[in-house]
Amino acid sequence: MMNVALNSLHARDITYQLHPYTNARRHEEVGPIIIDRGEGVYVYDDSGKQYIEAMAGLWSVAVGFGEKRLVDAAARQMAKLPYYHTFSGKAHEPSILLAERLVKMAPNGLSRVFFTNSGSEANDTVVKMVWYYNNAIGKPEKKKFISRISGYHGITIASGSLTGLPINQRGFDLPLPMMKHVGCPHHYRWSEPGETEEAFADRLAAELEAKILEEGPETVAAFIGEPVMGAGGVLVPPATYWEKVQEVCRRYDVLVVADEVINGFGRTGTKFACERFNIKPDILVISKQLTSSYQPLAAILFSDKIYQGIADQSAEIGSFGHGFTTSGHPVATAVAMENLDIIEERGLMENAAIVGEVLQAELRRFADHPLVGEVRGVGLIAAVELVADKATKAKFDPFGKVGAKFFQQGHEHGLIIRAIGDTIAFCPPLIITEEQIREVVSRFARTLKDIEDFVATEFPT
């Protein structure tokens, strides 16, 4: 164990907490980095060290840290009505106003909203809503979901089954048998030699169709995907992919679910990524930037057709028997309203499109670096994939060691990024300026320099 005073916060953290997404044994050795406060795009640890938060926390703090207006909005709502539920026909103003606002913003005429606390709960709820709907319309056997390898949809039993990453399933007895996975739309890693983006998209759409036919179209309820994948490595789909997979879904009466938990509210340079990729979802899932994660909140937006089926079924059974104590929580929904005001008043979605170009261009300057396999991204979400061999695209073996070192070494340079295997991800707050982007990139460059030495020592050729 680290040499830390027994009653220090570090020691108490090691003693009492099990951390999400953390190697618990390693944590016992190295302990936490305790983040104490934040201001704009910066956070500070308990020793006062400054970090530029190039991941906006967990892809989420759109308006940056320390936004007083959100604190005030929360305090006002806490003082007036700190809590009330939305069960049994009860309602309160903030959730009504937010539901109306989201419907007015939504793509494809989505017309109803259901609130949850997290993205995982939202995707779990999507599964249950679709099952309930298909029971209502007399298709009780139509229950399977199809998602993609490397997709991320959360960690509950159903959403963790939709997720296509081994770390979320290994050791947990997942996925559930009715959750199926198809190929990952990442051209750099998964295309055949010489295959164009369009031809790759054709192949993925054909694979989806073959999967639906193999399972039986009468058993396949929905296809779910992030327009741009986040936690799987910031994977931008090949040209024409979404048009083609949607066509297959429509052919077999398979609902299209767009998971915009990361993408929503300007992240990819348009309000919703559905607009950028011409996706016409039956169901849209949003969270994270909805409140800038100052409060836990997610929302499911869905079509009138689905609403009508659910409404009929609830009348038949006596109630829509689903919901959380804190569904549509008044403080969370009030904070979301204020957060959306800030995003609109300050033109933060437009800013993301403009400074996003700078981030993309600056990072692409590293494309020729010998350790860089691919630089990718769109808007204010990007990634640099590090590889052992640029020519063959060979990954480092062991995989993830270079990424983990990069993550740690970034801290030394006051940079917080995310390492996904050996891919370095960026997803800064939407308030970031061009100058701050150049600061992110310069800290990245300094870290990469250290990593060159690390690779030379640890992976001698």
Q: How far apart are CA 115 and CA 301, in angstroms?
A: 9
Q: Which two tokens stand for residue 198?
A: 């369009």
Which DSSP helix (H) or strand (E) runs through 145? strand 144-148
Report CA 216 to chain centroid distance, whole Å.
Answer: 30
The closest of 151, 160, 176 to 21, measured between CA atoms, is: 160
Q: How far apart are CA 439 and CA 81, in angstroms?
A: 42
The owner of tokens 């910031």 is 234
Which of 272/396 has CB closer to ligand PMP? 272
Which of 227/269 has CB closer to ligand PMP? 227
Q: What are the residues whose beta carbons fall under 8 Å from the beta carbon of 354, sequence distance 6 or more?
A: none
Which of 259/362 has CB closer to ligand PMP? 259
Kindly state the smallest distance separating residue 286's Cβ from ligand PMP, in Å: 10
Kindly state the smallest distance separating residue 231's Cβ from ligand PMP, in Å: 5
Kindly state the smallest distance separating residue 261's Cβ from ligand PMP, in Å: 3
Kindly state the smallest distance separating residue 159's Cβ from ligand PMP, in Å: 7
Which of 43/298 has CB closer to ligand PMP? 298
Q: Distances from the Cα of 49 to the Cαs of 52, 112, 291, 403, 435, in angstroms? A: 10, 45, 26, 22, 20
**Which residue number is nearest to ligand PMP in terms of Cβ?**
119
Q: How far apart are CA 428 and CA 363, in angstroms?
A: 14
Which of 135/150 has CB closer to ligand PMP? 150
Which of 154/373 has CB closer to ligand PMP? 154
The closest of 233, 230, 229 to 373, measured between CA atoms, is: 233
Q: If DSSP codes are grouped into helix, strand and coil, which group holds residue 390?
A: coil
Kindly state the smallest distance separating residue 123's Cβ from ligand PMP, in Å: 6
Q: How far apart are CA 283 and CA 303, in angstroms?
A: 7
Which of 298/384 has CB closer to ligand PMP? 298
Kindly state the smallest distance separating residue 69's Cβ from ligand PMP, in Å: 23
Integer-rounded Cα radius of gyration of the chain: 22
Q: How far apart are CA 288 and CA 265, in angstroms?
A: 9
Kindly state the smallest distance separating residue 130's Cβ from ligand PMP, in Å: 16
- DSSP for residue 36: E
Helices 330-345 and 93-105: crossing angle in degrees, nearest 10, is 40
What are residue 424's DSSP bridge partners? 384, 419
Kindly state the smallest distance separating residue 348's Cβ from ligand PMP, in Å: 19
Which of 119/414 has CB closer to ligand PMP? 119
Backbone angles phi, psi at 113, to 5 degrees: -130, 140
Q: Which two tokens stand for residue 243?
A: 């048009």
Which residues contact ligand PMP by CB under 6 A? 58, 118-120, 123, 152-154, 226, 230-231, 259, 261-262, 287
Kindly state the smallest distance separating residue 259's Cβ from ligand PMP, in Å: 5
Q: Which two tokens stand for residue 402?
A: 């270079």
Q: Give the torsion through C-alpha atoms of 440, 446, 447, 453, to 10 deg.
A: 160
Which of 232/356 has CB closer to ligand PMP? 232
Characterise 115 by phi-psi region: left (phi > 0), alpha (psi -120 to 50), beta (else): beta
The owner of tokens 């919703």 is 272
Which of 123/292 has CB closer to ligand PMP? 123
Kindly state the smallest distance separating residue 278's Cβ from ligand PMP, in Å: 19
